[in-house]
A and B are shown apart, each in its own frame.
Chain A
Amino acid sequence: MLLERLTTACGLPGFEDEVRNIIKEELADFVDSIKIDRMGNLIAVKNAAATGKHIALNAHMDEVGLCVRYIESDGRIRFASWGVDRRLLPSMRVLVGEKKTLGVIGAKPIHLQTESERNSTVAIDSLYIDIGCDKKEEVEKLVNLGDFAAFNSKFTEFGENRIKAKALDDRVGCATIIEVLKSDIPHKVTGIFCVQEEIGIRGSAVAANGLSADILINLEGTIGADLDGIKPHEHVTTQGGGPAISIADRSSLYFRKHIDEIIAVAEKNSIPWQYRRSGMGGTDAHNYHLAKTGTPCIGLAVPCRYIHSPVSTMHKSDFENLVKLVKAYVAEFGGK
Chain B
Amino acid sequence: METKDFLKEMGKISHISGFESELANFLSTEFAKQKNVNVSVDKVGSFIAHKKSLTTAENPPKVMLMAHIDEIGMIVSKVRKNGFVKFSPIGGIDKQNILAQEVTIHCRKTGQKLFGVIGIKPPHLTSESDMKKPIKISDMAIDTGLSTEQAQEIISPGDLITINTDVAELQNNKLTGRALDNTAGIAVMYHTLQALQHFNHSAEIYCVASAQEEVTGLGGKTATYSIKPDIAIIVDVGFGKANGLADHESIELGKGGAITIGPNTNRKLLDELKKAAKKHDTPYQVEVTAGMTGTDAYDVQISENGVITAVVSVPLKYMHSTVEVIDVADVENTGKLIANYIMSLQNLEGESCYWKD
Chain A interfacial positions (CB closer than 8 Å to B): 85-88, 90-93, 101-113, 118-122, 126, 130-134, 138, 142, 153, 156, 158-162, 164, 223, 225-230, 234, 236, 278, 280-281, 305-311, 313
Q: Are B83 and A306 in contact (CB under 8 A)?
A: no
The reply on B306 being an interface residue by CB < 8 A is no
Residues 125-136 of B, flagged 1 when their CB comes within 8 A of A and 0 if not, give 100000111110
Do A87 and B134 touch across chains, with their CB atoms under 8 A apart?
Answer: yes
Closest-by-CB residue of B relative to A156 is: B115
B residues near A305, Cβ cutoff 8 Å: 119, 143
A126 to B243, CA, bound (A): 7
- Inter-chain contact B325/A132, CB cutoff 8 Å: yes
Partner of A87, one of B83, B92, B135, B145: B135
**Which A residues are in CB contact (< 8 Å) with B341?**
none
Q: Which residue of chain B is the closest to A109 with respect to CB atoms? A: B319
Contact in complex: A87, B101 (CB < 8 Å): no
Contact assessment for B99 and A87 in the assembled complex, using a CB-CB cutoff below 8 Å = yes
Q: Identify A104's interface contact among B86, B150, B325, CB under 8 A.
A: B325
Contact residue among B81, B141, B294, B318 (Cβ-Cβ distance under 8 Å from A107) = B318
- Residues of chain A within 8 A (CB-CB) of B84 are 227-228
**A94 to B, closest residue via Cβ:** B323
Report chain A residues within 8 Å CB of B139.
Answer: 229
Excluding A90-B94, A111-B239, 18 further A-B contacts by CB distance (< 8 Å) are A85-B131, A87-B99, A92-B100, A93-B323, A104-B323, A106-B321, A109-B318, A109-B320, A111-B320, A112-B245, A130-B242, A158-B144, A159-B83, A159-B116, A227-B119, A278-B124, A306-B100, A307-B122
Residues of B contacting A133 in the complex (Cβ-Cβ under 8 angstroms):
171-172
A102 touches B92 (CB 8 A): no
Nearest first, the 5 closest Cβ-Cβ pairs linking A and B are A159-B145, A106-B318, A132-B170, A162-B145, A132-B171
Q: Which of B116, B123, B174 contacts A132 (CB 8 A)?
A: B174
Residues of chain A with a CB closer than 8 A to B124's CB:
223, 225, 236, 278, 280-281
Number of residues of chain B lying within 8 A (CB) of chain A: 67
B residues sitting closer than 8 Å to A (CB atoms) are 80-84, 86, 92-94, 96-102, 115-125, 131-135, 139, 141, 143-147, 150, 165, 168-174, 176, 239, 242-245, 249, 253-254, 294, 317-325
Would A91 and B168 count as touching, CB distance under 8 A?
A: no
Residues of A within 8 A of B172 (CB): 132-134, 138
Bound complex: CA A161 to CA B127 (Å): 32
Q: What distance in Å separates the Cβ of A133 from its nearest Cβ neighbour in chain B? A: 5
Do A134 and B254 form a contact, CB below 8 Å, given A102-B170, A229-B139?
yes
A108–B121 contact, CB under 8 A? no
Q: Which residues of B contact A307 (CB under 8 A)?
A: 122
Query: Can you offer 5 A-B residue contacts whose CB atoms are under 8 A?
Result: A88-B100, A88-B120, A108-B243, A138-B171, A159-B146
B249 engages A112 (CB within 8 Å)? yes
Distance between Cα atoms of A126 and B318 in the complex (Å): 13
In the complex, which residues of chain B have a beta carbon less than 8 angstroms from the beta carbon of A101?
Answer: 171
Q: A109 — which chain B residues lie within 8 A by C-beta? A: 94, 239, 243, 318-321
B243 touching A158, Cβ below 8 Å? no
